[in-house]
Copies of this chain bind each other. A is one copy, B any other.
């Protein structure tokens, strides 16, 4: 694909990923998943939408569940430093030739700009937002698996190099990536706030949404979520993990909501705020890159993702990845993956696992 030009207009000063708006086909079923099971805090709800936030959040919402005909992602929304930065975002994308719209798209957020970005993702930038009570001290309201922050988005896109150049021009800083000796990039992580990422690009057929991630304080909170799902006989919503990531060093769990939207529960990555923060590059053949404990990634995690919508709510077309697939180069007899880089033969585990 052709490169995306870098606008002459300055990029907006993005603070952080702020919320995702999901289209869900059964609002009651989604409410059960996100409120009754995961315990997100309801800021507001009506017949059309539910506005949710994490316990340490002070802005109106981190997640909007909106009733839709078709499941998908209405928007990936970022907060910027000032209202002027919203204007900057508008000018930036107009110079890129993207359609932009201004307005109050969700309750609690005002004067935002929405755009379908050059990669095909619906992005929003906003500053004005209602403040709500930060429930960081409300321990009486927290369950054992309390979600305390929105941590990051993860986007599926065919050409990670092209997508990365676009995000870096927009002011995102790369923290980690997965490559191979031939120079193929399989995935990359990018931050604005001082964690490993606000968003990431996973190589694959896209544009699609891979997952949205919320943080807990500690690892036992994540284990509890699994225990609770077991008690509710909903363990089949656990797709992968819990485990330790190589990339990001965080502890993780992947769930699938009633529409199949993937949600990560995440804790304990590291500070990345210095401008010379070292980038960590992982070899795609390192078996510990995605799971530090060497567990295989389930195929659905590689292949399934959510559709993303245009500004009218229609699904964006999906383009196939042309470069090598991480799943194909790492699973099976010809994967040539390793746990210890210089090992000449397969280890115990590889020889015995399915």
Query: Interface on A for B, CB 8 Å cutoff?
Result: 15-16, 56, 58-59, 79, 81-82, 131, 134, 136-144, 146, 148-149, 193-194, 217-220, 223-224, 226-239, 242, 244, 246, 249, 251, 256, 260, 268, 270-271, 273-278, 287-288, 292-295, 298-300, 304, 339-340, 347-350, 352-354
Contacts and interface: CB of A to CB of B under 8 A. Distances in A.
Given A137-B231, A244-B227, A268-B217, A82 B275 contact: yes
A293 B137 contact: no
Given A144-B142, A249-B136, A353-B300, A340 B274 contact: no
A229 B275 contact: no
Contacts of A82: 275
Given A58-B277, A218-B220, A293 B226 contact: yes
Contacts of A244: 223, 226-227, 230
Contacts of A236: 287, 294, 339, 347-350
A-B residue pairs, 5 tightest by C-beta: A235-B294, A236-B349, A236-B347, A230-B292, A139-B227
A238 B349 contact: yes
Given A137-B249, A139-B224, A144-B146, 10 more contacts: A217-B268, A218-B218, A218-B268, A230-B293, A236-B287, A236-B294, A236-B339, A236-B348, A238-B294, A256-B348
The A interface, classified by DSSP as helix, strand, loop or mixed, is loop
B233 A288 contact: yes
Contacts of A276: 131
Nearest to A138: B231
Contacts of A235: 287-288, 292-294, 339, 349
A54 to B, nearest CB: 10
Contact of A231 (B139, B268, B298, B347): B139
25 contacts: A15-B275, A58-B277, A79-B274, A131-B276, A134-B270, A136-B249, A137-B231, A137-B246, A139-B227, A139-B228, A140-B231, A142-B144, A193-B194, A220-B220, A226-B292, A227-B244, A230-B244, A233-B288, A234-B339, A236-B348, A237-B348, A237-B349, A298-B352, A298-B353, A299-B354
A192 to B, nearest CB: 9
Contacts of A304: 352
